[in-house]
Structure 1
Amino acid sequence: MKRVWIYQSNRFLQAEEITRIEDILQEFVSQWTAHGSQLAGSFVVRYNLFLMLMVDEEQAMVTGCSIDKSVHLLKKIEQELDITLFDRMQVAYKASSSGKLCIASRDEFAALVENGDVNSDTIVFNNMLTAVEEVAEKWEVPLKDSWHARVFL
């Protein structure tokens, strides 16, 4: 299985910030180990907003310590770039009218749903996925097909 961790920034990243993140993550995944075994790690930055960190566990399994190392690194990236990557109360969605990617706090998103600006067909991002294989079909989904529906509909 290929595991994925999806981190959403609290704001859209600038080109130079993405370059910096890519440099940091490239160095990290090239040295990422679990109990002395090299992990087959990779990453991607999507939509100037999401960092996806991945590991092919068919080559070597991640451990609590190796996950802790990645979290520690991401917290350093947060500090360096003055961003937040661990705020699960931020909702990313595509505006129904324009398809533009937007970010809202949980309360703002609830208000958008109540006002009808967001509806059950609005595309949201399910950052809770853990398998890379799920990203293509289960990451960008209509609100009604996501865990968001239980909270907001």
Structure 2
Amino acid sequence: MSRVWIYQADRFLEESEVKEIEKLSAEFVASWTAHGTPLAGKITVVDKLFLVVEVDEAVALVTGCSIDKSVHFIKGLGEKFGVDFFDRLWVAYIDEEGKTALVRREEFEEMVNSGKVQEDTLVYNHLIQNSEELASKWKIPFSQSWHYRVFK
């Protein structure tokens, strides 16, 4: 099982940005270590919005320093591409057309209050911590999410 971190951009990335981020991420992961031990990691761009960072801890455990290196790398990507991967005031969800949508927190709250967001509306749960949760608990119904407790 891999350890997982999700970073959500504050805007959708352009296809050219995705390609360059994927290239830079592969280079970073190839040199990513924990106390000199190479990490079995990968960084994937999903839906032109999310960076999914995974490390197979069966190979080598991540450390505070290795996590700091990845955060520094993600911050550098943000600076290079003019994107904030650390702004938690954005909410990502699946819209009525089945596409990933991104709105400010205030707009999402208005959508909840107006009934546009239903209990079965899928939202992205960035509190997941491992590959098993990534597969089963990343996109979950609004009624089962932390969003529900905050916005209802």
TM-score interval, normalised by the smaller of the two chains: over 0.9
C-alpha distance in 2 between matches for 1:27 and 1:79: 17
User: 3-state DSSP class of the match of 2:120?
Assistant: coil
Other-structure match for 2:9:
9
Count of matched residue pairs:
152
CA deviations on 1:15-74 (whole Å, 9 max, x unpaired) are 100011001110010010001111001121111111101000111110000000000011
User: 3-state DSSP class of the match of 1:25?
Assistant: helix
Query: For structure 2, which runs of at least 5 residues remain unmatched after alignment?
Result: none
CA apart distance, 1:100 = 2.4
Q: Percent identity?
A: 49
1:87 aligns with 2:82: no
Other-structure match for 2:144:
145
Other-structure match for 1:56:
56
Question: Residue type matched to 2:143 in 1?
Answer: K
Please give the root-mean-square deviation of Cα atoms over the aligned residues, in Å: 0.9
Q: Give 1:5-84 correspondences, 5 Å limit.
A: 5-84=5-84
Other-structure match for 1:133:
132
Runs of 4+ in 1 over 6 A off after TM superposition: none
C-alpha distance in 1 between matches for 2:131 and 2:44: 12
Query: For structure 1, which runs of at least 5 residues remain unmatched after alignment?
Result: none
C-alpha distance in 2 between matches for 1:22 and 1:109: 30
Question: Residue type matched to 2:12 in 1?
Answer: F
User: 3-state DSSP class of the match of 2:127?
Assistant: coil
C-alpha distance in 2 between matches for 1:5 and 1:41: 11
C-alpha distance in 1 between matches for 2:60 and 2:97: 43
CA apart distance, 1:4 = 0.6
Question: Residue type matched to 1:128 in 2?
Answer: L
Question: Residue type matched to 1:116 in 2?
Answer: G
Q: Please give the TM-score of this superposition, normalised by the length of structure 1.
A: 0.96
User: 3-state DSSP class of the match of 2:54?
Assistant: strand
User: 3-state DSSP class of the match of 1:24?
Assistant: helix
Q: Please give the TM-score of this superposition, normalised by the length of structure 2.
A: 0.97
Other-structure match for 1:100:
99
CA apart distance, 1:149 = 1.1
